[in-house]
Structure 1
Amino acid sequence: MRQKLVVIGAGMASGRVLEHLLEQNPEAYDITIFNAEARGNYNRIMLSPVLSGDKTYAEIVTHDDDWYATHNITCRFGEHVVKIDREAKQVVGQNGTVDYDKLLIATGSAPFIIPVQGKDLQGVITYRDLDDTNAMIEAAGKGGKAVVIGGGLLGLEAAAGLAERGMEVTVLHLMGHLMERQLDESAGFLLRRDLEQKGVTVMCGASTAAILGETHVEGVMLEDNTGLEADLVVMAVGIRPETRLANDAALDVNRGIEVNAQMQTSDPDVLAVGECVEFNGALFGLVAPLYDQAKVVAQTLLDQPAVFVSKELSTKLKVTGCDLFSAGDFAEGEGREDIVFRDPGRGVYRRLVLEEDCLIGAVMYGDTTDSNWFFGLIRDKTEVAEMRETLIFGPSFQGGSAADPLLAVAALPRDAEICGCNGICKGQIEDAINGGAHDLGAVRAVTKASGSCGTCTGLVEQVLAVTLGDDFVLPTSQPVCGCTDMTHEDLRRMIKSQELKSMPAVWQACGWKTSCGCHVCRPALNYYLLADWPVEYHDDPQSRFVNERKHANIQKDGTFSVVPRMWGGITTPDELRAIADAADKFAVPTVKVTGGQRIDLLGVKGEDLPAIWDDLNKAGMVSGHAYSKGLRTVKTCVGTDHCRFGTQDSTGLGIKLEKALWGSWTPHKLKLGVSGCPRNCAEATCKDIGIVCVDSGFQISIGGAAGMDVRETELLCQVETEAEVMQVVMAMTQLFRENAKYLDRIYKWMAKVGLDWIKEQIDDLENRTALAERFELSQSIYRKDPWAEHVKKADSYQTLGDLTLEAAE
């Protein structure tokens, strides 16, 4: 007879328990799972890329609704558990009671809130889950200043993500250097330097005295009376095990819920797993031991012998694009000696701590290639006296000279840990490869290696290369999605070579695994068809991201952001009056000047969108496409019209460019800048395409970025006339449209094809002219203001107010 298992918490640890349980005996239990969040298991490690905009929530979901349904799991998501009745063996939820034979508590941890004045103000948030992430995304959409309290991993990821979204960010850290638990002072200094180069201000030794404001946060006051302005405060000062339900149920609780080696609490029918657990006085925050616990829980539930053992842990983190590694004990002490390597120019730092001829600690920053080898030496207490002179340089240099880097991987023993998150060693990966897993995806599917934080991906590929030899080919790109084995590049080549001009034609020709694609591939496929066949193919609005379908950026509270276009940042009194009148008429709560020289109306109700755009259209204003994968802005300075340093009419050129390019669809957002002189007031050298005016003409450069990846543009060409600038920019945009992978910015695409190849295409006058002509053809078909088009449809309605978003679509 099947027993009843109730799980409280749908996080990564309990999710791994269910995977093990269902793999070994899917008939053992009827499973019910509660979760306070209104969703199931997703990869919380990847919330930072969601915050920065590099990933969507859908991309980090581990168990979707279909997974739970397939395994007949009863989901009570969005429902809090009120109490655990151990005597009746029942879990009491907000919406009713569930009986259990076995209970698993996986309540995780709760963020620590420092008890200062103002902690409950609106705009003070923590960073633990998707709701917190969405709150930060909403706040960043309004711009302004953010203060992040806490210089640990979560705090720095929050700071980087908010900076990526355009906020001015200051990190306050109480200790003397960042991430002091994982890094020594020197590595912490390098991390701080890199963050500051990315635009994040860091204040160490900073103690928060109060958070200021009446109803909404307005600033932060430090103990030394330093005041900081703030529109958002993120508290990331630490976490504590969430033990309230266990306490109320009279289970043994110290700092966490106490468990034995079988992960049982003081009640043998109640188990616990994850960050809420305490074992032998230790708490657990890294994912690797949580997954070890999950395996033991599943075995215990199936009455199989199992023992959880705390292991030596390493921390291998990727914070804001900076590689970090630390393991063991790196504190100073009597009888210990350090070996240190510093290369400030490359931002590389290594420190090894030795005691009695053994490596007991390691800190690495900037280059963590050999981290697994060093960790193995620490874990196995290997004597390193004979290799001491070359130890700092890693396994490739043992014997006194540099060797093929793959030899270091080949030299790793089979029990060397490769994937710390999932506890996967080299031998398990080799067994999977020898069993037929001959690419990264297959290895990940069999072993889960590289499937969590992803930092070990390169190492897994090296194990593949060593094991398969010449049979291994490093993939240049991953499949578009699970619907097909084709890469973006293969898919696009097929669309062009076979002249496929509709989605069904592509699905049939490619042997799609599903009949009509998914949320990942449909937007990409729609874009490729639109860019390659602008005349024959008709845009499919339902295959666009939601903001593009709504023609506005959706905010967390369900309202929308309205951004009218201001050509080259130039406006008129009439336009300003129209914006002010619209803000008054529709009670717009926030009016914000954007970094792209425009005005953003935030908080517009969905039902008011057609009407507010009707008013703005009548004033001659069109959509700024702030929501689109297309041209956003052309930022300009005043050039020769007003500036004594201006060499050309940068404002006029910027307006011409924006009017030529607006409404175009591109693989990713496209930002331009035109500076009237090399002083670069329009920041042209960090745009996707930048033009700097000089006495002899115009320097056109490409591939800039000013987000988490800060990149300076590289020179494409120099021309003498505005007409040449217009042609080059249109040709460059079309080259990008026709060749880049969907959701790649220009700098990412440029890294794949090479600047030299791009220059060849643009320098060829005949090819450049043809590209510009194809761009203009596409523009003649698709360049239109979406709201002007919608308003035309209002003629069949009695009043404009009857034209809802749904009717418009």
Structure 2
Amino acid sequence: MNVTNREKLVLIGNGMAGINTIEQMLKLAPDKYEITVIGKEPYPNYNRIQLSYLLEGSKTFKDTILNDYPWYEQNGIQLLTGVEATRIDLSTKRVQMSDGQFRPYDKLIIATGSNPAMLPIPGVDKDGIVSFRDMQDCQRMTDAACTFMRAAVIGGGLLGLEAAKGLLKLGMQVTVVHLCPDLMERQLDSAASAMLKAELEEQGIQFLLNKKTVEILGDNRVKSLQFEDGSKLETDFVVMAVGIVPLTTLARDCGLEVGRGIIVDDYMQTSAPDVYAVGECNQHRGISYGLIAPLFEQGAVLAKHLCGLSAQPYQGSIVSTKLKISGVDVFSAGEFQDEPGLDVIRMQDNWKKTYKKVLLRENRIVGGVLFGDVSDSAQLFKWVKAQETMTREIHEQLVGTSHMEGADPLAFVTAMPSDEIVCGCNGVTKGMIMHAITEQGLSTVDEIKTCTGASRSCGGCKPMVEQILAMTLGDRYEGSHTVVESLCGCTTHNREDVISAIRDNRLTHVREVMHVLDWHNLEGCTKCRPAINYYIGMVWPEAFEDEKDSRFVNERLHANIQKDGTYTVVPRMYGGVTTPEQLRKIADVADKYDVKMVKVTGGQRLILLGVKKADLPHIWEELGMPSGYAYAKALRTVKTCVGSTFCRFGTQDSIGMGIVLEKKFERLWMPAKFKMAVNGCPRNCAEAEIKDFGIIGNEGGWEIYVGGNGGVKLRAADLLCKVKTDEELIELAGAFIQFYRETGKYGERTSDWIERLGLPAIAQEIVENKERRKELVARIELALQGLHDPWREVVENEGLRHQLYENIHVK
């Protein structure tokens, strides 16, 4: 179609519902319209669903962007940001904007979304009161956490709880105030709500239920909340999360029919010709939806209609809900309360903290609730939407007896029709995913996400997307079989072969292993010799004799070689704590041996740079401090904040715990370098969530995060579990490290190890299986008993110092 003859389409609103409609239109008829998008916020299209992740710090703003500026340019879309539509002239078909400009339209889509509801009570206009709706709200909350201690969140629904967890992560003391006796009462029954409350209390959030806020007290700024029963809550900051109000002013002013929202028909058309409304701003058959999946379903119908294609009318949506809080899995779909005429299938395991409930009407599945384990959420939602008849097979799957030997794990996705929607957030069907895999040669979930948008928004459909990928690729699917990697070019044997040979034949020397396994190169190489040496020490710690020739030069000399041929010396400073005496020694050594630079490292210790090789033993002798193992595949650092000892926000003794952990596990060899961090509160100053083993303290105990990496391959750590006592924390740290030592490949960081094994498998071994945990702890204690610090020997043994000095000069 000639560009000059294209119809003009104007979209008011640059949010998820409107842009998703445009995305679908571009797939159906990319040249039909000349498109202009008017966006009030000064950003491209971003994912509001992930604001909670942005607030808690697990994602950046860049992570939330769905369509960047180049996307608009590539699709010929004129994007106007930071400008607001102020008037629609239905007679002349023009939209006026806040900057005085006009935009003519042939077709107009209103996707203005909604505003947060604010309680109509005295004091609501004071400083320190915000909603939780957009990027600016996130920034206000983050800024407040830097200054104030106490936060109150009014509203115990989905958004309120996500805001509360985000503020808790920012280090604030958070109290959720809720009008009802149950949290998320629109999605959960009392049993699931009680489990959710208990879990969040354990994380550190406090609750005041059955509380009606009647006034906000303070002068210019909020000081406290006044409740109807006469009680008060002192607070410095308030987040309102009590619902949303569709934005209808623009539509009402131009004469469109408006109820609670802009009234639309089954094709999203308003009361005016060529004017449509999609998303939270509209009202369809008396309902205004606030969840993303229904809005995308509306967008799919509207896109087909505007492209002149046959479309099934939109008849409303069955909604599902997932709570986006790290460490808390909650899912709800359809009906959820016990009512007359409903049959209930219910399973509750308080030890595992799981709950499953399915509701039937005349033997058809009409709703369900999952807590703790939401692995069945996609299947359950499908059954609820279809009001599937309950069968023996479905019942077996729900109660956990269908995963028997011989059962096909892909049976569910195989039976799905091609036109069934897999990603409700982006309207992606099973057929679209399969077509993209075969036509584009896709082989990973990330590639599917980029190509189709599936799993791009909330991520809830990712397991099903992966199952479809496995089904489509069959034997070509990388996840369906394990690629055997040999240890190096000197052998065809892999890690498992080597460890089995060491254990079965009780091999205790590197050359023994090479001989038994018929190494091609009997001298080995710099890749396999250190690996074999490590595996021998891991399997037989009590009989291990470290072979120095099988270690890297840095490990042999206890210093990292630099590009100019000099070395670095890094004394250990437990938990980042030092003393004036240690500082004086470091300064004296730096002067005496003409050290080029003394620098504070990212691991909270001092590094001496530019040390001559011949001076290494003398420097270590005069320092009289243990090595910080900055060169080793071992525990490098335990970074700490000042914690409850000094910080006004600190709830736990992070310094003390950091020193205990560092002294316990120092000098223990591991598959790769290992870093830890301990925070005294959720403000996370020690950056626990990019460490191999990160700990965050709160009033209820400790949260343990694992598998983080702040290096080249950036990875946020996963929440492993929460513990209440220091003893549990130390025990789990030992079990985790030992399991990593026993199952990690030599040179494999925990970030890659967790991706390979999967967090659930690791949690099963060290958290859920307490007997297995005890066995791991016993084995690491055995390994720890045989440890010694060679540099302590250097300091204490004059003869050894001279021998080492001579060896350095010879080499």
Structures share fold, TM-score greater than 0.5:
yes
Residue 452 (structure 1) shift:
1.2
Residue 209 (structure 1) shift:
1.3
CA distance in 2, matches of 1:117, 1:438: 57
Deviations 1:41-74 (A, max 9, x none): 1011111110110000011101112222333333
Cα 1:214–1:237, aligned 2, differ >3 Å: closer, same or farther?
same
Deviations 1:376-421 (A, max 9, x none): 333333332x529x72752864699994544444455555543232
- Number of corresponding residues: 587
CA distance in 2, matches of 1:630, 1:395: 45
In the alignment, residue 141 of structure 2 is paired with which amino acid?
A: M
2:193 matched residue in structure 1 = 188
Residue 474 (structure 1) shift:
3.2
2:122 matched residue in structure 1 = 117
Residue 40 (structure 1) shift:
1.8
Cα 1:351–1:25, aligned 2, differ >3 Å: closer, same or farther?
closer
1:137 matched residue in structure 2 = 142
1:363 matched residue in structure 2 = 369
2:174 aligned residue (164, 169, 188): 169
> In the alignment, does 2:382 pair up with 1:353?
no
Deviations 1:342-363 (A, max 9, x none): 1111111122222222222222
Residue 155 (structure 1) shift:
0.4
CA distance in 1, matches of 2:220, 2:92: 45
Cα 1:44–1:638, aligned 2, differ >3 Å: closer, same or farther?
closer
TM-score by length of 2: 0.63
2:345 matched residue in structure 1 = 339
Deviations 1:492-511 (A, max 9, x none): xxxxx999xxxxxxxxxxxx
2:398 matched residue in structure 1 = 394
Residue 428 (structure 1) shift:
3.9
1:261 aligned residue (266, 270, 281): 266
Helix, strand or coil: the match of 1:233?
Answer: strand
Helix, strand or coil: the match of 1:46?
Answer: helix
Q: How do 1:647-796 residues align onto structure 2 when only pairs under 5 Å count?
A: 671-672=677-678, 711-712=722-723, 713-715=729-731, 739=749, 741=751
2:329 matched residue in structure 1 = 323
1:77 matched residue in structure 2 = 81
Deviations 1:747-768 (A, max 9, x none): 9999989997999899589999
Q: How do 1:415-564 residues align onto structure 2 when only pairs under 5 Å count?
A: 417-435=421-439, 436-474=441-479, 535-536=562-563
CA distance in 2, matches of 1:690, 1:213: 37
Residue 307 (structure 1) shift:
4.1
CA distance in 2, matches of 1:423, 1:449: 8
Residue 157 (structure 1) shift:
0.4
Name whichever of 235-244 and 339-348 sits farther off: 339-348
CA distance in 2, matches of 1:535, 1:749: 36
Cα 1:443–1:11, aligned 2, differ >3 Å: closer, same or farther?
same
Name whichever of 417-426 and 88-97 sits farther off: 417-426
Structure 1, unmatched stretches of 5+, are 477-496, 500-531, 538-565, 572-628, 640-645, 661-665, 675-682, 693-700, 719-730, 774-809
1:88 matched residue in structure 2 = 92
1:19 matched residue in structure 2 = 23
**Are the aligned partners of 1:667 and 1:741 in contact in 2 as well (CA < 8 Å)?**
no
> In the alignment, does 2:276 pair up with 1:271?
yes
Name whichever of 77-86 and 402-411 sits farther off: 402-411
Name whichever of 266-275 and 357-366 sits farther off: 357-366
Structure 2, unmatched stretches of 5+, are 482-524, 528-558, 565-574, 581-635, 647-652, 667-671, 681-687, 698-703, 709-716, 724-728, 735-740, 767-775, 794-811
CA distance in 1, matches of 2:526, 2:316: 55
Residue 132 (structure 1) shift:
0.6
**Are the aligned partners of 1:396 and 1:405 in contact in 2 as well (CA < 8 Å)?**
no
Cα 1:708–1:236, aligned 2, differ >3 Å: closer, same or farther?
farther
CA distance in 2, matches of 1:717, 1:358: 47
Residue 475 (structure 1) shift:
10
1:36 matched residue in structure 2 = 40
> In the alignment, does 2:255 pair up with 1:244?
no
**Are the aligned partners of 1:163 and 1:708 in contact in 2 as well (CA < 8 Å)?**
no
Deviations 1:166-210 (A, max 9, x none): 111111111121111111111111111111111111222111111
In the alignment, residue 290 of structure 2 is paired with which amino acid?
A: G
In the alignment, residue 231 of structure 1 is paired with which amino acid?
A: D
1:10 aligned residue (10, 14, 28): 14
1:97 matched residue in structure 2 = 101
Residue 770 (structure 1) shift:
9.3
CA distance in 2, matches of 1:383, 1:673: 51
In the alignment, residue 147 of structure 1 is paired with which amino acid?
A: A
CA distance in 1, matches of 2:790, 2:60: 36
CA distance in 2, matches of 1:18, 1:209: 43
Cα 1:464–1:195, aligned 2, differ >3 Å: closer, same or farther?
same
Cα 1:710–1:758, aligned 2, differ >3 Å: closer, same or farther?
same
**Are the aligned partners of 1:373 and 1:412 in contact in 2 as well (CA < 8 Å)?**
no
CA distance in 1, matches of 2:343, 2:760: 46
Deviations 1:405-459 (A, max 9, x none): 4444445555554323234344443444344333212332343221110012122
2:521 matched residue in structure 1 = none
Helix, strand or coil: the match of 2:66?
Answer: coil
**Are the aligned partners of 1:160 and 1:708 in contact in 2 as well (CA < 8 Å)?**
no
Residue 143 (structure 1) shift:
4.4
Cα 1:772–1:402, aligned 2, differ >3 Å: closer, same or farther?
farther
Deviations 1:123-176 (A, max 9, x none): 100001111111111112224011001111110100011111111111111112
Cα 1:206–1:687, aligned 2, differ >3 Å: closer, same or farther?
farther
Q: How do 1:568-717 residues align onto structure 2 when only pairs under 5 Å count?
A: 633-635=640-642, 671-672=677-678, 711-712=722-723, 713-715=729-731
2:311 aligned residue (292, 303, 306): 306
Helix, strand or coil: the match of 2:302?
Answer: helix
Cα 1:373–1:673, aligned 2, differ >3 Å: closer, same or farther?
closer
2:299 matched residue in structure 1 = 294
CA distance in 2, matches of 1:370, 1:19: 30
2:516 matched residue in structure 1 = none
Helix, strand or coil: the match of 2:329?
Answer: strand
Residue 289 (structure 1) shift:
2.0
Flag the structure with larger Rg.
2
**Are the aligned partners of 1:568 and 1:634 in contact in 2 as well (CA < 8 Å)?**
no
CA distance in 2, matches of 1:292, 1:424: 10
Name whichever of 279-288 and 113-122 sits farther off: 279-288
In the alignment, residue 36 of structure 1 is paired with which amino acid?
A: K
1:211 matched residue in structure 2 = 216
**What is the percentage of aligned positions where both structures have the same residue?**
35
Cα 1:402–1:71, aligned 2, differ >3 Å: closer, same or farther?
closer
1:65 matched residue in structure 2 = 69
TM-score by length of 1: 0.63
Cα 1:20–1:110, aligned 2, differ >3 Å: closer, same or farther?
same
Residue 27 (structure 1) shift:
3.3
CA distance in 1, matches of 2:644, 2:408: 51
Helix, strand or coil: the match of 2:194?
Answer: helix
Residue 636 (structure 1) shift:
6.8
1:600 matched residue in structure 2 = none
Residue 673 (structure 1) shift:
7.4
Deviations 1:613-645 (A, max 9, x none): xxxxxxxxxxxxxxxx99864447889xxxxxx
RMSD: 4.9
**Are the aligned partners of 1:667 and 1:740 in contact in 2 as well (CA < 8 Å)?**
no
**Are the aligned partners of 1:13 and 1:291 in contact in 2 as well (CA < 8 Å)?**
yes
Residue 715 (structure 1) shift:
4.0
